[in-house]
Amino acid sequence: MRVAVNISYNGRNFSGFQYQHDFRTVQGTIEKQLKRMHKEFTRIIASSRTDAGVHAVEQYFHFDTPLDIPPEKWKFILNRAMPDDIMINDVQIAADDFHSRFDAAGKTYRYKVYTGTKNPFYDGLKTHYPYALDIAAMKEAMHPFIGTHDFTTFSSAKGEIKNKVRTIKEFKVLETNDGFEFVITGTGFLYNMVRVIAAYVLECGRGIRTPDTLNMIAAKDRTVIPKTAPAEGLYLEKVWYKKM
């Protein structure tokens, strides 16, 4: 039986989602509990492998189990065993061929920035960017991302994926009481792609870079955008599926 799980987590005290032998991770925390229940190791497969410090409002994973447990009981048992920074939102019995990663039709990320005076209560939850930002310049930088492009310029040089063509469906900026939020939806994202894009948009908004997005994309050169925005402002907000 294949079980699909929808979770949220505060990534501040995790070294990312993916299991690491000597570090606290979301995957390692969940698999530890599943091992207790199954009396053997049980692998979970996630829709995304978020980096250290990145949060998730909605993240999915699946696993296979011989245990005949109703979804609501799975939710209760897992939540009872989870630390305070992980919440099991929903559990479903999925189709046998459902795959959390490969069946994802799209994802939405939100990047949170606040300006002005540093606020200790935002530590680990929002990125502090203590400069005035021009929302018109940021919108000018953001709009050309919409569409299908090769995002080599806006991804980590460490990424091993050769095909870096992705489609962005929507990219917008929202003004908040003390800063801005960038909301981006696409069919898929490369390693560090959202954070590199956020760094570029912030530089345009600050006025230290002139918006030139299409030429930046065409360059296919990671070195022209040397910065990556901090992880703490990034949230995986939603994962879209055609089936489950």
pLDDT in tens, 70-115: 999 999 999 999 999 999 999 999 999 999 999 999 999 999 999 9
- For residue 244, pLDDT beyond 80: no
Q: Which fold has domain 105-241?
A: Alpha-Beta Plaits (3.30.70)
* Cβ(135)–Cβ(173) below 8 Å: yes
pLDDT in tens, 171-205: 999 999 999 999 999 999 999 999 999 999 999 99
Considering 51, 64, 84, 221, which one is annotated as catalytic?
51
pTM, two decimals, is: 0.95
For residue 128, give every residue at least 6 positions away whose Cβ sits within 8 Å of its Cβ, in sequence order, or none.
Answer: 113, 114, 115, 118, 119, 122
Greater confidence, 226 or 120? Answer: 120
Q: Domain segments of the chain: what residues?
A: 2-94, 105-241
Task: Tell me the pLDDT band of 32, cut-offs 50, 70 and 90.
Answer: very high
In percent, the amount of the chain with pLDDT more than 70 equals 99
Beta bridge pairs of residue 148: 167
Assign 76 to helix, strand or coil. helix
- Share the mean pLDDT of the chain: 96
* H or E element in which residue 34 lies: helix 26-38
Same fold, 2-94 and 105-241: yes
- Identify the pLDDT of residue 243: 75
For residue 109, give every residue at least 6 positions away whose Cβ sits within 8 Å of its Cβ, in sequence order, or none.
Answer: 183, 184, 185, 189, 194, 234, 235, 236, 237
Across the range 222-228, mean pLDDT stands at 90
- Identify the pLDDT of residue 221: 93
Task: Tell me the pLDDT band of 159, cut-offs 50, 70 and 90.
Answer: low
Eight-state DSSP code of residue 55: E
Q: Is-catalytic flag, 22?
A: no
**Architecture category of domain 2-94 in CATH:** 2-Layer Sandwich (3.30)
